[in-house]
Amino acid sequence: MRRFYAPMENFDHNKISLDSEQSRHLRNVLRLQPGDEILVFDGVGNEFRCLVQEFSSNKKTCFVKSLEKIEPTKPESNLDSTLAVSLLKGDKFDLAIQKAVELGVTKFVPIITKRCDVKLRNEEKKLERWKKIIIEASKQCGRAKLMEITKPFEFEELVETAQGSKVLFSERNGVSFSEINPAEKVTAIIGSEGGWEDSELEFAEKNSCQIVTLGGRILRAETAVISIASILQNCFGDMN
């Protein structure tokens, strides 16, 4: 059954309105009609079996009726995980965000590091794009709770304010992943394609970050995001 997203403010008792983008996909792409059943999730963990009722006169809004609340297609992981990832060029960052959603990451924080050479020209527009990627990935993978994404943080600010067990992944100067203590809340920090400056590693250690190196492999940044999210879920979350 097809899944759609509607924020809580679009709920009026058992009547739900889908915004123009969701309505366009329902009507023009999937060609669903009044009487068809769909699933709608609200982004905070709730999912509903619904019935398509009607379209607005300008066809930009679709109204659906909630028939019953159901269990989300994909339950949330018991691991509260944050990925703090240095900004990447091109579509690599979009890919990292998409895969983080699929792998059950709770929160995603873009960070600006010394070797990060990506400059955001329009931060607000970029953040809006990332949120759309999160919605689409959530629709596909079955999550009913949207992964949170924040504005970009400077590396030092992120390290100082990060919550839970703080783990920085580095290509050098780190211990084995097996030395990480089990935790229910983890912030994993992943650097840029150029790696870390020595001063950043020193700053992280002074602020209670554990430096971890994944064997002898040097991974591309976007590969590291996928690998680390998977490893964390396997060790401490719901992929074990």
> Which helix (H) or strand (E) segment is 130 a member of?
helix 123-141
* Topology of the domain comprising 80-236: Alpha/beta knot (3.40.1280)
Q: Which residues pair with 49 in a beta bridge?
A: 39, 68
- The string of pLDDT tens digits covering residues 192-221 is 888 899 999 999 999 999 999 887 677 888
- Helix, strand, or coil (residue 60): coil
Q: What pLDDT score was predicted for residue 1?
A: 85
> From CA 2, how far away is CA 49, in angstroms rounded?
10
CB 82 within 8 A of CB 105: yes
- The string of pLDDT tens digits covering residues 97-132 is 999 999 999 999 999 999 887 887 888 999 999 999
- The string of pLDDT tens digits covering residues 168-196 is 998 887 888 888 877 789 999 999 888 89
pTM score:
0.92
- Helix, strand, or coil (residue 14): coil
* The CATH homologous superfamily of the domain defined by 3-70: Hypothetical PUA domain-like; domain 1 (2.40.240.20)
- Where are the domains positioned within the chain? 3-70, 80-236
- The string of pLDDT tens digits covering residues 15-67 is 999 999 999 999 999 999 999 999 999 999 999 999 999 999 888 899 999 99
